[in-house]
Structure 1
Amino acid sequence: MLTVTQRAGRKEWTALAVLMLPVLLVAVDNTVLSFAVPAISLAFSTSGTTLLWIIDIYPLVLAGLLVAMGSLGDRFGRRRMLMIGAAGFAALSALAAFSPSAELLVAARAGLGIFGAMLMPATLSLIRNIFTDRTQRRLAVAIWAAGFSAGAALGPLLGGVLLEHFWWGSVFLLAVPMLLPMLVLTPMFVPESRDPEPGPVDVASILLSVAALLPVVFAIKQLAAGGDLPAIVAAAAVGVLAGWAFVRRQLQRSNPMLDVRLFRYRPFTGAVLVNLLAVFSLVGFLYFVSQHLQLVLGLSPLRAGLVLLPGLVVTIIAGLLAVPLVRRISPHLVVAGALLLSAAAYWLAASTPDASAMTLMAAFALLGAGVGASETLSNDLILSSVPVAKAGAASAVSETAYEVGSVFGTAVLGSILVGAYRQHIDLPSGLTPEQQHAAGETLGGAITVAEQLPERTAAALLDSAVHAFDSGVTVTAGLAAALMVASAWLAFRTLRTPQHQ
């Protein structure tokens, strides 16, 4: 292990490059499906709720298991977990690519979440161990965060390129060219790492962590779908109680799976929330902008992906520029300003419901600047605000916050959008019950039904569907803008220079 004063050399930076492969893979897989949503919707004629589950089940399972897999990595070896996760992820990616039904696709995505959780917990804790020099570590974390943000933004572009030439399942095969070099290079450059005194595997805590997330997301989706209110309340109550039981169990254990006592330190808590909300804004934005570009503006997947390319570049640049910027300006001011940029992006989308491609390009560039800077600095603050001995626990919290933000970005904003669409859609007469159901669920479903109708009826349906979708975007983006302003205030109040360097 490096000494406290030793600076990282070529081997350590090469190890970071290898560790970026799983980071990029998981980030890309979080959002690559965004641009395939219209094609999947058309292929399966699925409901809006099922469509959201296809997207959400992967980050949901991943978030629920991150802490558990981190604990297993501490015990059995973090590099070993990386290798197992890579092999399983490749197999499940192939299954997802060739899924014959929406239900099997949901199951395959859930499996990807399990193996994705094996890939991630080691990365940040290894960075903390490899880069002990404060300046080098901040740069390494900036590269790590830029990889997450860039991967999330790159997903739709890569998806657009593939969907331009292949079927929707091709987006899942992206994992193969990323995992093969990782399987070869990881044993060569990444040192094995494990906790010399690991705690016992806590099955009860694993089950409670999953039980705290799944029912809450289910309740949100059912609320948007107009589901049974008692069932919604019951599901939310189960999630809250499971979360309370999880926290209580961690506090009672001498060696907890997740050290929730870290949240007693205000900068740590603030950085975790900023991390979550920044990803929330990014994933939520991508969910509706991908559909607007393709289904409303009629762009091909490739052209729609190219619209977002400037935002991808801005995301990377903003994350890297944040490192020298905080040498002159306090991190809490930089993060607050970055989140206000994200709020401006959503305000731009909310104020122009019939937005052109250029308007959405500008909005995503603003969002990219905000997410790139806030993600970099919040992750650095999470690591540096705790003692070195707690780096592994802090890493698990940071990655869990990222995935929870990804889940709730689509679960909350996506559900609001689906609910607004259903409320505002005005179906023309003459549709069969099956056509009414499909057209009333999603914009993709309305387009599929329109192809089966006479020209005048089809035109009326499409006009109503587009207006219903745009009205949903206005409501969703407005709420998200307000949330980003509140997040900026939170960052300003809570993020200060951490005590532990």
Structure 2
Amino acid sequence: MSSTSTLPVPAVTRAGARGWAALAVLMLPTLLVSVDNTVLSFALPSISEALRPSATGMLWIVDVYPLVLAGLLVAMGSLGDRIGRRRLLLVGATGFAAVSALAAFAPTAEWLVGARAALGVFGAMLMPSTLSLLRSVFLDREQRRLAIAIWASGFAAGSALGPIVGGVLLEHFWWGSVFLLAVPVLIPLLVLAPLLVKESRDPAPGPVDAVSILLSLLTMAPVVYGIKVLAVDGFSPVAVGAIVLGAASGALFVRRQLRRPQPMLDMRLFTRPAFSGAIVVNLLSVISLVGFLFFVSQHLQLVIGLSPIQSGLVLLPGLVTMIVAGLVVVPVARRIRPGAVIAGGLVLSAAGYLLVALTGGGAPWGVLLGAFVLLGAGIGAAETVSNELVISTAPAAKAGAASAVSETAYELGAVLGTAILGTIITASYRAALVVPEGLSAGQADAAGETLGGAVTVAGSLPGPLAEQLLDSARAAFDSGVGVTAVIGVALVATAAIVALVTLRHVRS
């Protein structure tokens, strides 16, 4: 063979109008999940007043959905590779819409927790399917990078739309109306996906591994439960035992995957620095984002006294910035190394948290607006680049499992953002609250559980006593916000360092 001869490089088919229409359809579940997360944060005060959950119950209302979803994402991603990603997407959409209607009319906090758990099962079918199907639709990497940027902007778009739509609903209807948003969003998906999205699956799938599915759940649930108990109630043998059980189950899960000829999750993916580094960046970024939204939505409504829609408008510039940053970073990522792009964005996010930390927790709404603009700009850019790295570095046949790992990091981040940062705020609130004299034992207990509980109790008290309770409750809540903001700075800075180290050899 001549030294000047070259092998022919097969041309990559570029997606046409049908591909971009398919992208619009695949963004619907992404939009829905992000709307759900944001709307729920803004509905928490109304849920607290209507259902009267305990502090732990309130956290479980938020956490049980991403906890179940995160525990099943890898299993569902593998199942989609096996039975068809489009088929799994349609099953998940049907179930999600039906259970959302049940959640909307929950009569008790326990009912709502159960409905949110069922939503997690069907949500786990939705998310890895959407991202993995994008890989089969967009074969050209430049097109795929733009498509993933648009797809990722669906999270930010949903977060931007959620406060506005949710604020309108909460001012005119009961809290359950926010869950009914799923129905009009998912009906177009059920109609259009079979027409626009081709079926995609692994040509040589492994068998269904029930033991691995169980181990993945036993890894997630006990760890998060243990973190909750430690943060709210302090040290206990039960909490430590739960964390040990989760760690042991995780070790057994990894061992089983390494020994099986066709594992549910190919652990060798994590030996690729670009893949593992992008996953860690996703995890830490989302912890900081969800933790911010958890405390800022309550601060705006229950401390400053804004309505739900006014609170949404305060956060809107930051959410729009997140969308714009995710799209603007696409041409930048062609010229600058991914590690530098991600680290630069996360420095902006750290500056946003620092603004809140410097106020000691009692930030006015203008400071929170500016802080969220910085946070959103950084995370929008980082998430676009890191998600593209996850998909592009994994084998095409394992796109579902790889997408599931990325989504697991996102949902685990949502769980930990609330479980760790949320419970730190709750613990600080309970420690700092001074209940004024004149309250009954029941009123004192309710006020000591959550800020929402204190606001509800204050509504039944005479003016001076109510004002005294509210002043104490708001100061106690904001004392935890200041601590949480410092932790947020550390989390985002750590993510930036991880990006610089693990992605230093990855070229633009």
Q: After alignment, is 272-281 or 316-325 more displaced? A: 272-281
Contact 2:76 2:404 in 1 (8 A): no
Sort the Cα spacing of 1:342 and 1:395 in 2 relative to 1 into closer, same or farther, 3 A.
Answer: same
Number of matched residues? 498
Structure 2 residue identity aligned to 1:59: P
Q: Which amino acid aligns with 1:44?
A: L
Change (3 A) 1:152 1:256: farther
CA-based RMSD of the aligned residues comes to 1.5
User: Where do residues 9-24 of structure 1 align in structure 2 (5 Å cutoff)?
Assistant: 9-24=16-31
Name 2:457's counterpart in structure 1. 449
Structure 1 Cα separation of the partners of residues 273 and 439 of structure 2: 56
Q: Distance in 1 between matches of 2:137 and 2:506?
A: 20
**Other-structure match for 2:231:** 224
Preserved CA contact (<8 Å) 2:78 2:400: no
Deviations 1:106-152 (A, max 9, x none): 00000000011111121222111221111111101111111123323
1:285-338 deviations in whole A, cap 9, x for unaligned?
Answer: 111110011001111111111111111110110000110111222111110011
SS in 2 for 1:308: helix
**Matched letter for residue 295 of structure 2:** F
* Contact persistence 1:205–1:257 (CA under 8 A): yes
Partners of 1:186 and 1:125 in 2: how far apart? 14
Residue 278 of structure 2 aligns to a residue whose secondary structure is helix
**Aligned-partner Cα distance in 1 for 2:398–2:461:** 62
Contact 1:4 / 1:133 at 8 angstroms: preserved in 2? no
CA-to-aligned-CA distance 1:187-230 (integer Å, 9 cap, x gap): 11011112222111111111111111111111111112215611
Identity level (%): 64
Q: Give the aligned partner of residue 416 of structure 1.
A: 424
Cα shift readout 1:16-67 (whole Å, capped 9, x = no counterpart): 1111111111222223200001111111222111101001111111111111
Query: Could you tell me how far 1:157 is from its partner in structure 2?
Result: 3.1
Distance (whole Å) between structure 2 residues aligned to residue 193 and residue 492 of structure 1: 34
Equivalent residues in 2 for 1:160-309 (5 A)?
160-226=167-233, 229-309=236-316
Gap regions ≥5 residues in structure 2: 1-9
Q: Deviations over 1:262-304 (max 9, x none)?
A: 1111221110010111111111111111001100111111111
Counterparts in 2 of 1:4 and 1:257: CA distance versus 1, 3 Å:
farther
User: What residue number does 1:75 align with?
Assistant: 82
- Residue 362 of structure 1 corresponds to which residue in structure 2? 370
Is the CA contact 1:46–1:438 (under 8 Å) kept in the aligned structure 2? no
Q: Tell me, what secondary structure is at the counterpart of 2:233?
A: coil
- Among candidates 397, 408, 427, match of residue 400 of structure 1: 408
Q: TM (normalized to structure 2)?
A: 0.95
SS in structure 1 at match of 2:206: coil
Q: Deviations over 1:352-399 (max 9, x none)?
A: 222111111111111110111010000011122234344333212111
2:116 aligned to which of 109, 117, 123: 109
**Would you say the 8 A contact 2:421–2:484 is kept in 1?**
yes
Question: Aligned partners of 1:158, 1:56: CA distance in 2, in Å?
Answer: 22
1:98 to 87, 92, 105: 105
Q: Which moved more, 1:306-315 or 1:345-354?
A: 345-354
Matched, 1:488 2:496: yes
Matches within 5 A, 1:98-177: 98-177=105-184
Query: Equivalents in 2 of 1:157, 1:262: separation in Å?
Result: 40
Question: Unpaired segments of 5 or more residues in structure 1?
Answer: none
Matched, 1:458 2:466: yes
Moved more, 17-26 or 488-497: 488-497
Label 1:183 to 1:497 Cα distance change in 2 as closer, same or farther (>3 A): farther
The match for 1:337 is 344
1:67-96, Cα deviation, whole Å (9 max, x unpaired):
111122122211111111111111110111
199-208 or 450-459, which moves further after superposition? Answer: 450-459
CA contact (8 A) 1:221 1:411 kept: yes
SS of 1:120 mapped into structure 2: helix
Q: CA contact under 8 A between 1:33 and 1:156: conserved in structure 2?
A: no
Once residues 108 and 192 of structure 1 are traced to their aligned partners in structure 2, the CA distance between those partners, rounded to angstroms, is 30
Quick check: 2:202–2:398 contact (8 Å CA) kept in 1?
no
Q: TM-score, normalised by structure 1?
A: 0.97
User: Residue in 2 aligned with 1:371?
Assistant: 379
In structure 2, how many angstroms separate the alpha carbons of the residues matched to 1:227 and 1:45?
23
Name the structure 2 match of 1:437.
Answer: 445
AA aligned to 2:496 is: A
Contact 2:356-2:371 within 8 A present in 1 as well: yes
Q: Is 1:328 matched up with 2:321?
A: no
Q: Which residue number in structure 1 is paired with residue 5 of structure 2?
A: none
Q: Secondary structure, in 3 states, of the residue corresponding to 1:363?
A: helix
Deviation for aligned residue 1:259: 1.1
CA contact (8 A) 1:30 1:59 kept: no
Alpha-carbon separation, structure 2, partners of 1:77 and 1:261: 23
- CA–CA distance in structure 2, aligned partners of residues 217 and 325 of structure 1: 37
- Greater Cα offset, 467-476 or 80-89: 80-89
One-letter code aligned to 1:236:
I
**2:28/2:186 contact within 8 Å kept:** yes
Partners of 1:171 and 1:39 in 2: CA distance: 11
Amino acid paired to 2:406? S
